[in-house]
């Protein structure tokens, strides 16, 4: 219904039995009077913004807002809309800014807790990343995150460089940049302050490839490392597996009759289940450790995997002597892969032993299920050959189907 509204008409209107009635004011086009069955009366004005959308504005309840006040407010909105001013958009922006300001006032510790719950908990290295962040930001945890500045991040990184830990400083930088990017996207930071933080040092690709003789020397030096570290390091040398996958090896993952380690995808770097053949020396190493039905193979407490690998590696380095070139545990994989390739083993077999992710298109669903057993006989033969190189004694080499003994 459209009429030129008057105060008398408004007072005479009766609430409907259900729903609502709506009366449009012809004196101020776009202004409407709404009356519901409960007796609630409201002013509404609708107007298109110049160059923009049509907007609906609630002007308040009658009689608190009179007819004259409603018309005056509608005229103001109409005048603004004709100039391209959008009250609804401005209100939305103000609410968003208020919400962002409230988020930026949250203590850094609280934001870090949320980051840990929503993101770090999904990462295999999430606990380590959390420790790095807490250490880097320890002096700022109780301050609002809005007060965090690039200089605070850079200071934490530089402190690690001055402490002689440049590579760790780069890890701190990566952790901090990931955190600030996440915080910026969720409104905790107005800008991503981590973008301006520089590298601690430039890390160069390593080219250290231990020779067979060097790997043999490392293997021999393990004999004096004791009943815990000796077997662990020897298993790393013999299998060429990643250190985390051997350090965190569980008895449930070892098939002694089948002479193999079976790692589920949840415990490997690339998320793929993986089988590692145990050569005779590797099998003897595992059989020499006090066996249990379940739990960690290498542990001092029984509740957690062994810790202190860096200190044990330093002991092994001292046993090797000052003339032995510097090496990392990861270099054992490179040394084994190079030696096997030079001995004629196919690259695909070596890659399978190392559990490298294939390049190119993703494997099919069937391939993902069965790839753990791909080329197993060839991989077993290669690992037996590697054990023979290390120990300089013949192993019971696994034969391929159709080959002679």
> Considering the domain boundaries, does residue 98 fall inside one?
no
294 vs 374: which has the higher pLDDT: 294
Q: Are residues 144 and 225 in the same domain?
A: no
Domain limit, last residue, from 29, 57, 85 = 85
Confidence (pLDDT) at 97: 76
Contacts of 125 (CB under 8 A, 6+ apart): none
Q: Are residues 234 and 334 in the same domain?
A: yes
Q: Are residues 337 and 248 in the same domain?
A: yes
In the predicted structure, residue 381 carries a pLDDT above the cut 80: yes
* Structural domain for 163, as ranges: 104-196
The CATH number of the domain holding residue 319 is 1.10.443.10
Domain count of the chain? 3
Nearest to 329 by CA among 253, 229, 249: 229
- Region 296-323: mean pLDDT is 90
125 vs 338: which has the higher pLDDT: 338
> Considering the domain boundaries, does residue 55 fall inside one?
yes
Q: Are residues 261 and 157 in the same domain?
A: no
Confidence (pLDDT) at 354: 93
Q: In whole angstroms, how large is the CA radius of gyration of the chain?
A: 35
Nearest to 176 by CA among 383, 15, 312, 168: 168
DSSP 5: -
Contacts of 245 (CB under 8 A, 6+ apart): 263, 267, 268, 269, 274
Q: Are residues 191 and 326 in the same domain?
A: no
Predicted model pTM = 0.50
DSSP 254: E
Q: What is the pLDDT of residues 253-297, one digit of tens each?
A: 999 999 999 999 888 888 888 999 999 999 999 999 987 778 999
What is the band of 202 on the pLDDT scale with cuts at 50, 70, 90?
Answer: low
Domain limit, last residue, from 54, 85, 116 = 85
**CA-to-CA dists, residue 87 to 42, 62, 97, 381, angstroms:** 19, 21, 15, 76
Sign of the alpha-carbon torsion through 396, 237, 205, 156: positive
- Region 216-222: mean pLDDT is 95
Q: Are residues 380 and 336 in the same domain?
A: yes
> Considering the domain boundaries, does residue 15 fall inside one?
yes
Q: Are residues 62 and 20 in the same domain?
A: yes
- Neighbouring CB atoms inside 10 A of 73's CB total 18
> Considering the domain boundaries, does residue 202 fall inside one?
no
> Considering the domain boundaries, does residue 374 fall inside one?
yes
Q: Are residues 246 and 361 in the same domain?
A: yes
Q: Are residues 180 and 305 in the same domain?
A: no
> Considering the domain boundaries, does residue 334 fall inside one?
yes
Contacts of 24 (CB under 8 A, 6+ apart): 1, 2, 3, 31, 32, 33
Q: What is the pLDDT of residues 75-119, one digit of tens each?
A: 999 999 999 999 988 888 888 777 767 666 789 999 999 999 999
> Considering the domain boundaries, does residue 280 fall inside one?
yes
Q: Are residues 257 and 142 in the same domain?
A: no
Confidence (pLDDT) at 204: 55
The CATH number of the domain holding residue 77 is 3.30.160.390
Domain limit, last residue, from 196, 229, 248 = 196
Q: Are residues 239 and 356 in the same domain?
A: yes
- The mean predicted confidence, pLDDT, of the chain is 87
Determine the Cα–Cα distance for residues 219 and 390; give it in Å rounded to an integer: 7
Confidence (pLDDT) at 206: 58
In the predicted structure, residue 401 carries a pLDDT above the cut 50: no
DSSP 255-287: ETTTTEEEE-GGGSTTS--EEEE--HHHHHHHH
What is the band of 203 on the pLDDT scale with cuts at 50, 70, 90?
Answer: low
What is the band of 316 on the pLDDT scale with cuts at 50, 70, 90?
Answer: very high
- Region 198-222: mean pLDDT is 82
**By percentage, how much of the chain surpasses pLDDT 90?**
69
Q: Are residues 222 and 334 in the same domain?
A: yes
Would you call 23 helix, strand, or coil by DSSP? strand
> Considering the domain boundaries, does residue 310 fall inside one?
yes
The CATH number of the domain holding residue 172 is 1.10.150.130
Confidence (pLDDT) at 369: 38
């Amino acid at each position: 219904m459209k009429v030129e509204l008057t105060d008398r008409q408004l007072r005479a209107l009766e609430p409907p039995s259900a729903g609502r009635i709506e009366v449009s004011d012809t004196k101020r086009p776009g202004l409407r009077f709404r009356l519901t069955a409960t007796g609630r009366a409201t002013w509404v004005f609708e107007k298109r913004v110049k160059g923009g959308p049509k907007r609906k504005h609630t002007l308040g309840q009658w009689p608190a807002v009179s007819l004259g006040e409603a018309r005056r407010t509608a005229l103001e909105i109409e005048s603004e809309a004709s100039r391209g001013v959008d009250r609804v958009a401005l209100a939305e922006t103000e609410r968003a800014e208020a919400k962002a300001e409230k988020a930026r006032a949250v203590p850094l510790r609280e934001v870090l807790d949320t980051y840990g719950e929503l993101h770090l908990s999904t990462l295999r290295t999430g606990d380590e990343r959390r420790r790095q962040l807490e250490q880097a930001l320890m002096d700022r945890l109780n301050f609002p995150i809005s007060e965090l500045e690039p200089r605070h991040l850079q200071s934490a990184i530089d402190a690690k460089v001055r402490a002689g830990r440049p590579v760790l400083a780069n890890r701190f930088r990566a952790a901090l940049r990931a955190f600030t990017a996440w915080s910026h996207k969720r409104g905790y930071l107005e800008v991503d302050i981590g973008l301006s933080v520089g590298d601690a040092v430039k890390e160069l690709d390593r080219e250290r490839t231990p020779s067979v003789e060097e790997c043999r020397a490392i293997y021999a030096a393990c004999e004096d490392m004791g009943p815990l570290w000796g077997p662990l390091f020897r298993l790393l040398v013999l299998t060429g597996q990643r250190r985390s996958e051997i350090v965190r090896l569980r008895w449930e993952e070892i098939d002694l009759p089948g002479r193999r380690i079976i790692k589920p995808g949840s415990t490997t770097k690339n998320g793929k289940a993986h089988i590692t053949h145990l050569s005779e020396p590797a099998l003897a190493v595992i059989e020499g450790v006090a066996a249990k039905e379940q739990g960690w193979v290498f542990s001092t407490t029984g509740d957690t995997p062994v810790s202190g690998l860096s200190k044990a590696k330093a002991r092994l380095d001292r046993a090797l002597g000052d003339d032995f070139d510097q090496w990392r545990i990861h270099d054992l994989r490179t040394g084994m892969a190079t030696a096997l390739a030079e001995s004629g083993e196919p690259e695909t077999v070596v890659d399978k032993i190392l559990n490298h992710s294939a390049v190119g298109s993703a494997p099919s669903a069937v391939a993902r299920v069965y790839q753990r057993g791909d080329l197993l006989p060839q991989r077993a033969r290669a690992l037996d050959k590697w054990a023979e190189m290390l120990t300089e004694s013949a192993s019971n080499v696994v034969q391929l189907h159709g080959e002679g003994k």
